[in-house]
Chains A and B, each alone.
Chain A
Amino acid sequence: GENVEQHPSTLSVQEGDSAVIKCTYSDSASNYFPWYKQELGKRPQLIIDIRSNVGEKKDQRIAVTLNKTAKHFSLHITETQPEDSAVYFCAAKGTGFQKLVFGTGTRLLVSP
């Protein structure tokens, strides 16, 4: 089945810096790659997603890139702010119906 690896497990940046989180997946048939943000004590929430027919997608300060050949995708956050501090999960949809496989998460800490 699908396997998703996520790096780094923790990431500390200064406010205003950029942050990049990387994920790789194993199933070449995967076609949907969402990113979820989980603030401390709260539920995970979708922040951006990308489909396999698109190489890059942007939404204000966040962007996701996808390299299907290498089977990896990344989340980019520019001009980081303290409220970006959270755990971020990547995910990939492998074979089967609506079965998302999540990465292990990245704890991002943005220091003022």
Chain B
Amino acid sequence: DVKVTQSSRYLVKRTGEKVFLECVQDMDHENMFWYRQDPGLGLRLIYFSYDVKMKEKGDIPEGYSVSREKKERFSLILESASTNQTSMYLCASSGGQGNSPLHFGNGTRLTVT
């Protein structure tokens, strides 16, 4: 069974802090994604990566960056956290180049005060 692990379930940070959200998958998947989930807005794609050291902007990349130094790990970085980045962050992975299902992590609920 695919396991996608996010390092923190809950995180509280102050405005202006640099924040790292970590995600690790154990199925040797090529593709990894970061989504943000907000009530009434669904799941919105922030960044994704289809290979090590590769990254692509999603629909809402502003204020975020990512890092993928190893195939199994995909990090989301908030360079200077702001209150409007308070949200649930979901990492996901998928294999292959076709229409493979996304496997999600349990999410990190980030609160920026």
Q: Do A and B come from one complex?
A: yes
| A6→B42 contact, CB < 8 A | yes
Q: A6-B42, A101-B45 are in contact. Are A49 and B107 (CB under 8 A)?
A: no
Query: Which label, helix, strand, loop or mixed, suits the secondary structure of the B interface?
Result: loop
B106 touches A42 (CB 8 A): yes
Binds B, one of A55-63, A66-74, A78-86, A102-110: A102-110
Q: Nearest Cβ distance between residue B62 and chain A, in whole angstroms?
A: 16
Chain B: residues with Cβ within 8 Å of the partner, total of: 24
Range of interface residues on chain A? 20 to 34
Give the chain A neighbours of B59 by CB distance below 8 A: 1, 101
Q: Interface with A: B15-23, B68-76, B79-87, B97-105, which one?
A: B97-105
Residue in B40, B102, B107 whose CB lies within 8 Å of A104: B40
**A-binding residues in B (CB < 8 A):** 31, 35, 40-45, 48, 50, 56, 58-59, 90, 94, 97, 99-102, 104-107
